[in-house]
Structure 1
Amino acid sequence: MNKTLLISMSNVISPEKDEEFNTWFNEVHGPEAIALPGFRSFTRYRVASQVVPPAEKPTYQYFAIYEVDDAERCAKALLDAAPNLSMIDALDMPTAMGLMCEEIYTTRKDRREENKVVARRLIETLGALDTQGFLDCLADDVVFETPGQFALAGSKTKTDLAKEFPAMRDVIPGGLKFTIDTITAEDDRVHVELSGESKTVDGRDYNNKYHYAMIIRDGKVVRFRDYLDSDLAMKVLGQSFEEHGATYFGRDDEKNAQANAPA
């Protein structure tokens, strides 16, 4: 079924009534409308400027967009309920307009190549252990996950990751040399298969294989899953972390103990 929207356009009768109007719409009128059969949600917008046709004063001050299930059924429900809906004199009723709209076509900007660039930049900064560069690739609410039942596994926040880099530089002072084998993108998802070469501070080779699964939105990674050879990671990195007194990837000793506890 195509998306159906009710678009409501409205004006306030005078500037001094603006606050009263918005309070009424947000707290009374909108909730009354979405309580009707077939109405699911509403979002309001203040008009910032009128672009076409250009006008110093926009024809309408406010828009409300309601998501509805069915145009005909919801239009009838609204008209039937209209006599009982709360009204307010702050609304300029003669200029108010409502349009029931049915979706006929949707297209979206293809961001796959842009997302690949973000993924490559993240891998480059991770390999260089460039803390700020790496964090700049991440959304503030990013979820960074290493699946598995081993000490280096778990879910981390952006704050956790910021704490991880000093410990990583202590253990792998030369960073990691990544080689991307394949990189594919579809919608907001990017998958990267890659290999990494590095040497720990005590001379151990750490050469692992990885699969990074990312979700990227608005140029930032919002979710990252790191699949790797966990046995190799624990054999080489785990031992180096312990010998040099570093915490596991930004975790404190209590979390380390929990991560190492038998399942």
Structure 2
Amino acid sequence: MSISANQNTNTIDINKKHALDVINAISNGDWQYVSDNFADDAKIWVAGSMPISGYHDKSFVDGLGESNKVGFPNGMSFTAKAMTAEGNRVAIEAETLGTHANGKVYNNHFHLLMVFRNGMVIEWKEYMDTEHANQTFFGQSCFSLGC
């Protein structure tokens, strides 16, 4: 194995660790850690046609921290189930579980893509069951909204 191959393997392992640390911080409600590990120029994309869908900047992450504290007063687990990485990209299959303040159980399944630069998340793409998310958070059916 050449030096560059070793360096690439090390970078992949480091990125996987960073990705898992971010997932665990979300699960633990440590949104300061999450925010601190997103680059200032990070881009976030959420699937669907929900009010939170589309492209966002880093301020979206800070807003999620506040809304999750209010929305999940007893916390919400966010568990990585599988992870694949190549280069600066880490793909994660994950699951959430928590009871929202409105009494609805939120148990969603995700496919996340994180792209890293110098150990910081510069891109986050989030795919999930948008119907379940929309019903839980907004009380709306995606079928009528076109999610």
1:226 aligns with 2:123: no
User: Which one scores higher on RCO, CA 8 angstroms, separation ≥ 6?
Assistant: 2
Q: Which runs of structure 1 show a deviation greater than 4 angstroms over 4 or more consecutive aligned residues?
A: none
Tell me if 1:107 matches 2:11: no
2:49 aligned with 1:152, yes or no? no
Match of 2:81, SS state, is strand
Equivalences for residues 1-263 of structure 1 within 5 A: 107=4, 109-110=7-8, 111-239=11-139
Q: In the TM superposition, what is the alpha-carbon distance from 1:262 to its structure 2 partner?
A: 7.9
Partner SS state of residue 132, structure 2: helix
Shift of 1:131: 2.0
Task: Tell me, in whole angstroms, the C-alpha distance in 1 between the residues paired with 2:59 and 2:52.
Answer: 16
Question: What whole-Å deviation, never above 9, does each CA across 1:199-242 have from its counterpart, x for those lacking one?
Answer: 111321110000000111111010000100000000012239xx
Q: Deviations over 1:118-158 (max 9, x none)?
A: 10111111222322111111111000110222222121211
Q: Counterparts of 1:224 and 1:121 in 2: how far apart (Å)?
A: 14
- Alpha-carbon RMSD across the aligned residues, in angstroms, is 2.4
Higher strand proportion (structure 1 or 2) = 2
CA distance in 2, matches of 1:107, 1:132: 34
CA distance in 1 between counterparts of 2:59 and 2:132 reads: 26
Aligned partners of 2:50 and 2:130 also within 8 Å: yes
Q: Taking every aligned residue pair, what percent have the same amino acid on both sides?
A: 25
Distance 1:114 1:163, change over 3 A: same
8 Å Cα contact 1:181-1:193 kept in structure 2: yes
Q: Could you say what secondary structure the match of 2:51 adopts? A: coil
Q: Secondary structure at the match of 2:13?
A: helix
Report if aligned partners of 1:121, 1:137 keep a CA contact under 8 Å in 2: no
Structure 2: give runs of 5+ residues left out of the alignment: none
Question: What is the CA deviation profile of residues 14-54 of structure 1, one whole-angstrom value per residue up to 9, with x for unaligned ones?
Answer: xxxxxxxxxxxxxxxxxxxxxxxxxxxxxxxxxxxxxxxxx
- SS of the aligned residue for 2:102 comes to coil
**Aligned partners of 2:4, 2:86: CA distance in 1, in Å?**
15
Task: Measure, in 1, the Cα distance between the counterparts of 2:124 and 2:110.
Answer: 12
Structure 2 counterpart of 1:191, which letter?
A
Distance in structure 1 (CA, Å) of the matches to 2:97 and 2:135: 15
Unaligned regions of 5+ residues in structure 1, if any? 1-104, 241-260
- Matched residue type, 2:57: T
Provide the secondary structure at the position in 1 that maps to 2:4: coil
Counterpart of 1:195 in 2: which secondary structure? strand
Deviation track 1:78-133 (CA, whole Å, cap 9, x = no partner) reads xxxxxxxxxxxxxxxxxxxxxxxxxxx99362211100111011111122232211
Contact 1:152 1:234 in 2 (8 A): no
Separation in structure 2 between the aligned mates of residue 164 and residue 170 of structure 1, nearest angstrom:
10
